[in-house]
Structure 1
């Protein structure tokens, strides 16, 4: 029997929070980065996330690690591998072939209008180069609001803004903010986050670890509210249940309720269906 829960999101106190399918998963039982799951996400209008690595020809493949042996039956640096070699490989987890950027472009043409796909870029602009930027422009310029591009290299995000202005952009200052919090305090966190929001990436979404969000709120700073006041969305990552079938334990229930009270626009999870079901048991 089909589940009554789709894993798309949670409504709470008049606010809807999307559940983002981390690494193209509805559940840890799903294989990593599978075309079947992304097709289902596109059909339903889900928010999904995947990692992209540049190939030798300037195209991309949906993989996280820098080397093929990390996740596939291949060997060597992904950026030195041509697409025909990558297509001949299979993922170690699931046994399916890797998804290429050309596949994504084709699938996006029939995606639900609410579908949102996050490209988490794992290579820097210097590695992606002009050929990689040309490939993105050639294949995804028309995707518009269906894609949001994120990555650690802010120069890359600026380049995306300049070359593909129709795509959404996201930044994740979490690691930097945690260090600032530890050494300089909460006021410095606020100052730095405001600078990032106003910076040259012109982000649509700010990605923040949920633990940082809750600790800052406990100490008196609503990071989500700060972003909302600046017109930005917030993704709180990555909230995973220890026992998805059982639902929230006491600590998880407390933390998730506190997070929902702050009204994030999205929560990243590898267990979106289980999270929606667990919340239905305790919150409304």
Structure 2
């Protein structure tokens, strides 16, 4: 099965770790946010991630940057652009049309039962507003089993919890925890993360950068075990091989094997098939 469907997951001591396709790509040099890759992932049952920006009409478009010119041939803030402005644009990476949230809802109806699509919300609650929340409820309330919503604005995640309680939610406290680890030490990090886990967002998954996970582990704090103790899963982001052809260097292997031994539930990568091949080559 792994030979037929590369880049889906790897196993260590009977623990399954999913390989999440960062920004809808399986190779670092592939186009960003490819609808073709997304359709393939839905067919295979992959875990995938995309970024969303709100449009002027309350819908969303799959983009990372706040301005259209960052990733498309358009101009101006995404939040001021309407559907009819965005539809004719092309992506600088790949030359395809930007993916609208309506397109996502249509594609997700054909998803494999194990497929999962992370909606990483790049705007805050004030920007998304009532129109954006209503759009999410209208288009995704019936297909929420295939998605997880994450974002830096915890008030947005809380609002989504209230509006669509059946949607899985994720939080990413990496930046503040890294700052706290450096300034105050592991005990402060532990207190802060436990507060987040017990907080009103009630997250299902916690997104933590792999350097933070390893730095905290070196300081005596296992953040994966802490999250697992609260019934939460952990995504370690974003681990990319320096060479997809050569596999793990010794330094990369030391880092990656530690993450696997810690029991991370998912690893975000732009090189999922190559990472799986490199892992199997070391076993």
So what's the TM-score if we normalise by structure 2? 0.98
Q: How does 1:217-232 map to 2 (within 5 A)?
A: 217-232=217-232
Q: Which residue of 2 aligns with 1:271?
A: 271
CA distance in 2: counterparts of 1:4 and 1:143, whole angstroms: 27
CA distance in 2: counterparts of 1:238 and 1:28, whole angstroms: 11
Aligned length: 282
SS for the counterpart of 2:73 is coil
CA distance in 2: counterparts of 1:163 and 1:203, whole angstroms: 15
Q: How does 1:38-187 map to 2 (within 5 A)?
A: 38-187=38-187
Residue by residue, what CA displacement relative to the aligned partner does 1:104-129 show, whole Å, maximum 9, x if unpaired? 00000010011000000000010001
How far did residue 14 of structure 1 move? 0.9
Q: Which residue of 2 aligns with 1:21?
A: 21
Structure 1 226/44 Cα, relative in aligned 2: closer, same or farther at 3 Å? same
Contact persistence 2:5–2:44 (CA under 8 A):
no
Residue by residue, what CA displacement relative to the aligned partner does 1:224-265 show, whole Å, maximum 9, x if unpaired? 001001000000000001111111111001110111000100
CA distance in 1: counterparts of 2:254 and 2:15, whole angstroms: 19
CA distance in 2: counterparts of 1:221 and 1:145, whole angstroms: 32
CA distance in 2: counterparts of 1:3 and 1:234, whole angstroms: 26
CA distance in 2: counterparts of 1:234 and 1:83, whole angstroms: 35
How far did residue 133 of structure 1 move? 0.6
Q: Which residue of 2 aligns with 1:259?
A: 259
Q: Which residue of 2 aligns with 1:198?
A: 198
User: Unmatched 5+ residue regions in structure 2?
Assistant: none
Contact persistence 1:5–1:277 (CA under 8 A):
no
Q: How does 1:210-221 map to 2 (within 5 A)?
A: 210-221=210-221
CA distance in 2: counterparts of 1:25 and 1:128, whole angstroms: 26
SS for the counterpart of 2:217 is helix
Residue by residue, what CA displacement relative to the aligned partner does 1:193-245 show, whole Å, maximum 9, x if unpaired? 00000000000000101111112112211100010010000000000011111
Q: Which residue of 1 aligns with 2:188?
A: 188
In the TM superposition, structure 1's runs of 4+ consecutive aligned residues that sit over 3 Å from their partners are 2-5
Contact persistence 1:5–1:276 (CA under 8 A):
no
How far did residue 173 of structure 1 move? 0.5
User: Unmatched 5+ residue regions in structure 1?
Assistant: none
How far did residue 85 of structure 1 move? 1.1
How far did residue 84 of structure 1 move? 1.2
Residue by residue, what CA displacement relative to the aligned partner does 1:179-206 show, whole Å, maximum 9, x if unpaired? 1111111100001000000000000000
How far did residue 4 of structure 1 move? 4.7
SS for the counterpart of 1:142 is coil
SS for the counterpart of 2:53 is strand
CA distance in 1: counterparts of 2:145 and 2:187, whole angstroms: 34
SS for the counterpart of 1:188 is helix
CA distance in 1: counterparts of 2:234 and 2:3, whole angstroms: 28
How far did residue 170 of structure 1 move? 0.2
Contact persistence 2:71–2:92 (CA under 8 A):
yes
